[in-house]
Structure 1
Amino acid sequence: MAAQAEAVPADASARLLDPAGPEGRAVLEAVLSEALGGSVAIAEVLALSGGASSATWRLSATVGGDLCTFIFQRAATGAGRGVPRRVQAEVMRRAAALGVPVPPVVAVPDTASGLGDCAITAFVEGEALAPRWLRLPGYAAAREALTAQCAEALARLHAAPLEHWADLPLGGGSGAEQLDTLFASYRRIGVDVPAFDLAFAWLRPRMPETAATCLVHGDFRSGNFLVDAHGLAAVLDWEITHRSVPAEDLAWLCVQAWRFGQWERPVGGFGEREALVAAYRAAGGRIEPELLRVWEVFGNLRWGMSCLQLADDHVSGRVPSVERAAIGRRVSEVAADLTYLLAFGDL
């Protein structure tokens, strides 16, 4: 899978500066001043919900007399499994140059800053909470446009040759290799889930052994988009980007969990698979539709393994977290989804 960052000790937060505290603000002001080439004064630091792997703050600052807004994000305590923020930032810069909508990277603080594994981006207007933009009437036009917009963004990302990313420490591999890595994690955790056993056995002879052909986002799905009234405003959360094949990203977008209750719309809760494939091809992408089901089974299993890993983090005491424990309880949902998908071929 993706390149692994060094593990963050459980007490790492004790050594990290609080961005809302006076010392943290001073360091952030210095970092932004250097990046922007002028004096910066931070007026407000507001903590936002950041998920299980990230901690996020919104910064309101005066820059050359103008009020600007930035997003400061760093690895959550104990996360330590994703691509380092400095690498993510470089991937985002290069993805932006390819035409993928991403928040503009403003600065990547040095590791000696005391701010941790972090990055600062410009603030992009939009709704991040998928249950809101998937249901509210004000986003109806956005939902209609999203399938084609997502397909185009992925086609642009996948079109870049692997040489475009060759100097970056990113992992990945063939589908068969990724399945082996996932199975090793399953055995390490040591919890038996019959539906997972069945999915691993079903995937074993079907996962492609062909080498990776492109960079994939790795977590391209509802919940990791900023959506405005016109559709896709920005693609967020690049922490598990890695080398793979296009089908992985397209199938991940179809995983049941990312429909947020809009189960009748398999593409992220807003679109249809056939329309996604057609739009991806129209944007210049190449895809074998028959591989989508294989990668969709893998995607559902991968999400189930993420739930199992988060539960293990909490139960083991490695990263005590109510949020991780709550997500871990969703293993049973994924088991049901996998059973249905393998029995009937569709979700």
Structure 2
Amino acid sequence: MALTESTGVPVEAGLRDIARKIDAAACDISGIERLSGGATQEIWRFDLHGPRGPLGRYILRRAPGGTRITEGVGLEVEARLMEAAAKAGVPVAEVAHVLTPEDGLGYGFVMRFVEGETLGGRIVKSDHLRAARQTLAAECGETLAKIHQIKVSNFPTLTGATPAELVERQRLAYRATPIRRPVFDLALRWLADHAPPPPAASALVHGDFRNGNLMIGADGLRAVLDWELAHIGDPMEDLGWICVNSWRFGRIDLPVGGFGTLEDLLAGYERVSNTRLDRAAIHWWQVYGTIRWGIICASSVAAFRGEDATMERAMIARRTSETEIDLLRLIAS
């Protein structure tokens, strides 16, 4: 087992040392494996054992190298968000232990393993998920409403911005990319001209609630993943983001993640929140989400030409043109 980049503690040995912190009945681990999922964090899967046999499968979500800091809310806050979400009735993996300095493994947390599918293309096409797709959009709406009801006062380190400020952030990010794109200029101007006012009541926004960050089983939504982009803002941002065409995986006729309709999404949300949603506001956030992803794709060009010349980076950069087509369609609708 390879050593961590800076803690000097093998991951397997470190997890064995803290087994009892994960479960008081534990005495050993086995089957540790580094998973390929997780674009910004390390993901390790392992089995926990007690004197009388297996105690279950777990996941270690850890900062790269254990101590390298990446963008986002921080893994300790992410763990706390998941715990708060669980109390609010949101399906999430159970957090079993948050790493401490004494553990020697750096920053991260251990959670219970949840079985299911996360690959968006399979979620929209697999036959064994056909029944789940019938109600999945409504489930997503209900789940988002529960997330948006979590008390933001419990997370004072989370930041926020008005819609107009977010547009300006995207404009600056776009100007830092190497290529000028008239469609992006048009979309940014449209967003600025039609920006909604700040919400009457800000909410906890997941920030990356989409097909690909949801664990799906034959029974439906099993867990909401990747809370590292959570922030305070307009709850409609999450509703617009899940409808971005890039998360439909070819099923462009089904705006909600390629598996459901907007009306089902909104019906689920309104059923839990007991509020009537502004359809025009959601359309604005869909345009915003599309250019947000487009600028991420465009930024990958410089990354590919620099220190991250990976196939994944090249493929993301190539998708920039797809978002330009999506933006033109959205603005014209």
Task: Note the C-alpha offset of 1:277.
Answer: 1.2
| Partner AA of 1:158 in structure 2 | H
2:23 corresponds, among 21, 26, 36, to: 36
Q: How many equivalent residue pairs?
A: 326
Deviating 4+ runs (over 4 angstroms): 76-79, 111-114
Task: Note the C-alpha offset of 1:99.
Answer: 0.5
1:311 corresponds, among 301, 307, 314, to: 301
- State TM-score, norm by structure 2: 0.91
Given the alignment of the two structures, is residue 60 of structure 1 paired with residue 52 of structure 2, yes or no? Answer: no
Give the 3-state SS of the residue equivalent to 2:273 in structure 1: coil
1:226 corresponds, among 215, 222, 242, to: 215
Q: Decide whether aligned partners of structure 1 residues 53 and 79 sit closer, same or farther in structure 2, where only a CA change above 3 A counts.
A: farther
| Partner AA of 1:207 in structure 2 | A
Task: Note the C-alpha offset of 1:112.
Answer: 6.1
Structure 1 regions of 5+ residues with no counterpart?
1-11
Alignment match, 1:247: 236
1:210 corresponds, among 190, 198, 202, to: 198
Given the alignment of the two structures, is residue 197 of structure 1 paired with residue 190 of structure 2, yes or no? Answer: no
Structure 2 regions of 5+ residues with no counterpart?
none
Q: Retained in 1: the 8 A contact 2:27–2:51?
A: yes
Alignment match, 2:5: 14
Q: Find the aligned partners of 2:320 and 2:107 in 1 and give their Cα distance.
A: 29
| Partner AA of 2:23 in structure 1 | L
Alignment match, 1:263: 252
Q: Find the aligned partners of 1:16 and 1:195 in 2 and give their Cα distance.
A: 46
Q: Retained in 1: the 8 A contact 2:178–2:302?
A: no
Q: Find the aligned partners of 1:31 and 1:189 in 2 and give their Cα distance.
A: 44
Alignment match, 1:330: 319
Q: Retained in 2: the 8 A contact 1:161–1:213?
A: no
Task: Note the C-alpha offset of 1:17.
Answer: 5.4
Task: Note the C-alpha offset of 1:156.
Answer: 0.9
Give the 3-state SS of the residue equivalent to 1:237 in structure 2: coil
Alignment match, 1:136: 126
Alignment match, 1:27: 14
- State TM-score, norm by structure 1: 0.87
Q: Retained in 2: the 8 A contact 1:159–1:285?
A: no
1:186 corresponds, among 174, 177, 184, to: 174
2:93 corresponds, among 99, 103, 106, to: 103
Aligned residues: CA RMSD:
2.2
Q: Find the aligned partners of 1:213 and 1:220 in 2 and give their Cα distance.
A: 17
Task: Note the C-alpha offset of 1:115.
Answer: 3.1
Q: Which moved more, 1:295-304 or 1:267-276?
A: 267-276
Q: Decide whether aligned partners of structure 1 residues 155 and 37 sit closer, same or farther in structure 2, where only a CA change above 3 A counts.
A: same
Alignment match, 1:124: 114
| Partner AA of 1:24 in structure 2 | V
2:143 corresponds, among 147, 153, 157, to: 153
Q: Retained in 1: the 8 A contact 2:85–2:150?
A: no
Superimposed CA distance per residue, residues 267-318 of structure 1 (whole angstroms, 9 cap, x where no aligned partner): 110111122112211112532111011000000011112222333333232x
Q: Decide whether aligned partners of structure 1 residues 79 and 273 sit closer, same or farther in structure 2, where only a CA change above 3 A counts.
A: farther
Q: Decide whether aligned partners of structure 1 residues 276 and 17 sit closer, same or farther in structure 2, where only a CA change above 3 A counts.
A: farther
Superimposed CA distance per residue, residues 248-267 of structure 1 (whole angstroms, 9 cap, x where no aligned partner): 11111100011011111001
Q: Retained in 1: the 8 A contact 2:19–2:48?
A: no
Q: Retained in 2: the 8 A contact 1:196–1:301?
A: yes
Q: Which moved more, 1:308-317 or 1:268-277?
A: 308-317
Q: Find the aligned partners of 2:143 and 2:98 in 1 and give their Cα distance.
A: 24
1:73 corresponds, among 53, 61, 75, to: 61
What does 1:268-287 align with in structure 2 at a 5 Å threshold?
A: 268-286=257-275, 287=277
